[in-house]
């Protein structure tokens, strides 16, 4: 009996040592790892189609906006076409832009401008020599420097 008791004690001792020395199992089981793998593969598989879908929706909205702008432009052009069918409008435009006159009228052209809007007598940058623009730019830069 004594041998059986020692043998049982040795088995118990070995079982306790195995329990103490055995590494703890991680919480990540095989099922959890498989689930994580499936979720990651779904995210990777759906990322590109979702990005394409979003970009296509943006492109569709842009095309709709352009179509609405084109419809508005067509509406404006139709209105202008209808105005050009009116002889009074054609005469007004010919007088304004082409300086046409009716028989018996006397036309005057004013040098340096027209009577539509008063203009500044200062010469603009496009009417001056390039070196004048250069010197004016340098002078303005010197004045701004502290």
* Percentage of the chain lying above the pLDDT 70 cut: 80
How many whole angstroms separate alpha carbon 126 and alpha carbon 129? 8
Compute CA distances 39 → 24, 32, 33, 85, whole Å.
Answer: 26, 10, 10, 68
The 10s digit of each residue's pLDDT in 70-89 is: 999 999 999 999 999 999 99
Reading the block at residue 131, the tokens are: 């070196």
Whether 126 shows a pLDDT value over 70: the answer reads yes
Whether 121 shows a pLDDT value over 60: the answer reads no
How many whole angstroms separate alpha carbon 101 and alpha carbon 109? 12
Reading the block at residue 37, the tokens are: 């793998």
**Are 16 and 8 in contact, with CB atoms under 8 Å apart?**
no
How many whole angstroms separate alpha carbon 99 and alpha carbon 70? 33
């Amino acid at each position: 009996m004594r041998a059986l008791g020692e043998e049982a004690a040795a088995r118990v001792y070995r079982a306790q040592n195995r329990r103490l020395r055995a590494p703890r199992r991680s919480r990540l089981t095989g099922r959890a790892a498989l689930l994580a793998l499936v979720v990651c593969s779904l995210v990777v598989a759906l990322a590109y189609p979702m990005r394409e879908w979003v970009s296509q929706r943006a492109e569709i909205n842009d095309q709709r906006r352009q179509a609405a702008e084109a419809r508005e432009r067509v509406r404006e052009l139709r209105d202008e076409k209808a105005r050009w069918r009116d002889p009074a409008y054609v005469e007004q435009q010919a007088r304004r832009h082409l300086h046409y006159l009716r028989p018996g009228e006397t036309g005057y052209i004013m040098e340096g401008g027209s009577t539509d809007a008063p203009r500044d007598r200062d010469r603009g940058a496009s009417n001056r020599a390039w070196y004048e623009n250069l010197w004016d730019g340098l002078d303005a830069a010197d004045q701004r420097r502290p």
